[in-house]
Structure 1
Amino acid sequence: MKTSTLILILISSGILFYLALSGFNQLNSAAQAAKSDFNNSSSTTQIVTIQASGNYIQTIDGANLSFDFNKTSNHGVILLPQIGKDKSSFIALEKELNKNNITTLSIDLRGMGETIYPKQMFQFTDQDFISMQNDVDAAANYLKSNNVQLIGFVGASIGANLAFNFASKHNIGKAVLLSPGLSYRGVSIVDDLNQSNGPILLIFASNEDTYAFDSSQKIQDNYTGSLTFVKLQNEGHGANMLDSTSISKIVEFFKK
């Protein structure tokens, strides 16, 4: 092989290595940036671009979310329902939070209630459920666009998993999880259990709801953050557990 050819090969290899290294550094920087302080970011469109028209919030992938927004202060909570229910399952809780000057935003996730989405729930694949995270992103940005600081979530069942994942990734202070599962339809919380600065958790689960109860116990055993597990008996699943006692606990949790 000629000397000039060898030099060209070495130069080309060096350029390729530099480009590959640059690409890796960019990917690594992006991964670090993904765990952001949502409330202190400068733009309301850091995660998604949202539009609101009438009673709908549009997600980045085109779902139109039906929502109820009650602004009573500049501190707010997002409420995420379980499969088979909609935002109306939180009405009693919303009223009590509002009485205590906590703004609420409840949404119908894609496939639920009055939200407009190309598929019906029975047609969903796991990927459709995973894409519900876009619904949470849009809701969070809607709060920010209305000058409300997101202080926490209330989520039921799969809504609990979605709430925990967003709160863990974006430094949101608190989350109430009603019947969480280690994984619901592909929406897993396992990877975020060891976050060093995860949200303060208030978990409710009822003993006869075996999967949610066992999952809650495993969360308590493995979570590295602060957590309170309220163990109930024969109270059902998700928002079905909301009564005057549990609602009072949730309100006090967010008032602290």
Structure 2
Amino acid sequence: MNIIHSLAITSILTSTSALANINLTAKDGFTLKGQYFSAPSSSDSAVLMLHQCNYNQTMYKNIGKQLASNRIHALSIDFRGFGDSATTQYDVRTLSQLSTEQRRKAWQDMTAHWPSDVQIAYQFLKDKVGAQGKIGVIGASCGGSQAIELALNNQIAAIGFFSSAQNDKNIEKYTNSLSGKPTLIIAAEEDGRTYTSAQALFIEAKHSNSKFLAYKGKDHGYPLLDKDSNLTPAIVTWFSHQIN
């Protein structure tokens, strides 16, 4: 699939790895905001990081830095309507002011763009790693569904589900088409459907490098990164082994 996109680098911070705030132009002209953690130009591996729907791209800042330090390009984006990708037209913060029916329609209108928006982000990384490069994706909570759709339509080398509840339809998609890929699954035992669907995904996972990290309690997504200082390096190490 050939998708035309544009990129504007708005700022660069120099540390162990370079962090750039970037603009990606979606196919309808909408501007998506992201953070790109650059690896050496010779690197042919990358990870796309998709946030959960009660947070934004910044949840992956430390993971992105460590991936880049391990010679892996990393990109996190704000979904349309979230974080720095919110506009007067698309803004999740204003949905509560609408009636139930208006809220449902506004959510559907906004999220309908997400698969093509995520495709733009994937193409950005594909341009970095080249045709033979390897790209992994991790999706937290609602980002997991977008990770599945991306992996169904592109060459994804490894996939991660971070506190990401999946419905039966998505579990079936994973089972039929994605279960042979290395899969990292993270969930807390008291996190309801998130944990039971994580178990279902892991049962179907066929690759020997697939891994399930289970936590006590009910923390959902990014709070687990604060709770366990070993989780960030564990995620980075796992992806490094799959795509480096």
Report the TM-score, using the length of structure 2 for normalisation: 0.76
Is 1:240 the counterpart of 2:211? The answer is no
Distance in 2 separating the partners of 1:145 and 1:195? 25
Runs of 4+ in 1 over 3 A off after TM superposition: 146-150, 187-190, 222-226
Q: What's 1:41 paired with?
A: none
What does 1:65-214 align with in structure 2 at a 5 Å threshold?
65-73=32-40, 74=43, 75-117=45-87, 118-121=89-92, 122=95, 123=103, 124-147=106-129, 149-183=133-167, 188-195=170-177, 198-214=180-196
Residue-by-residue CA offset, 1:62-108 (whole Å, 9 max, x unaligned): 33111111211322111110112111111111122122121111110
Extract unaligned runs of 5+ from structure 1: 1-45
Give the stretch that moved more between structures: 118-127 or 77-86.
Answer: 118-127
Rate the CA distance shift 1:231–1:66 in 2: closer, same or farther, 3 A: same
1:228 aligns with 2:211: yes
The separation in 2 between residues aligned to 1:59 and 1:103, in whole angstroms, is 21
Q: Percent identity?
A: 25
Offset at residue 183 of structure 1 (A): 3.5
For residue 215 of structure 1, the aligned residue among 197, 204, 212 is 197
1:17-56 correspondence runs (5 A): 46-54=1-9, 55-56=22-23
The change in CA–CA distance for 1:221 and 1:195 in structure 2 (over 3 A counts) is: same
Change beyond 3 A, Cα 1:89–1:196: closer
| Count of residue pairs brought into register by the alignment | 209
Summarize the Cα distance change of 1:198–1:62 in structure 2 as closer, same or farther, 3 Å threshold: farther
What SS is found at the alignment partner of 2:79? coil
Q: Which secondary structure does the structure 2 equivalent of 1:193 belong to?
A: helix
Name the SS of the counterpart of 2:135 in structure 1.
strand
CA distance in 1, matches of 2:152, 2:142: 15
Q: Distance in 1 between matches of 2:8 and 2:66?
A: 27
Shift of 1:215: 0.9
Question: Does the Cα contact within 8 Å between 1:165 and 1:189 map onto a contact in 2?
Answer: no
Inter-partner Cα distance in structure 1 for 2:86 and 2:196: 34
How far the C-alpha of 1:204 sits from its partner, in A, is: 0.2
The structure with more radius of gyration: 1
Q: Distance in 2 between matches of 1:60 and 1:151?
A: 22
Q: CA deviation at 1:129?
A: 2.1
- C-alpha spacing 1:196/1:116, structure 2 compared with 1 (3 Å): closer
CA distance in 1, matches of 2:153, 2:206: 14
Answer yes or no: is the 8 Å Cα contact 1:164–1:189 preserved in 2. no
Residue in 2 that maps onto 1:28:
none
Q: Which amino acid aligns with 2:214?
A: K
- Give the unaligned 5+ runs of structure 2: 10-21, 96-102
SS of residue in 2 equivalent to 1:190: helix
Q: CA RMSD in A?
A: 2.4
- Helix, strand or coil for the counterpart of 2:119? helix
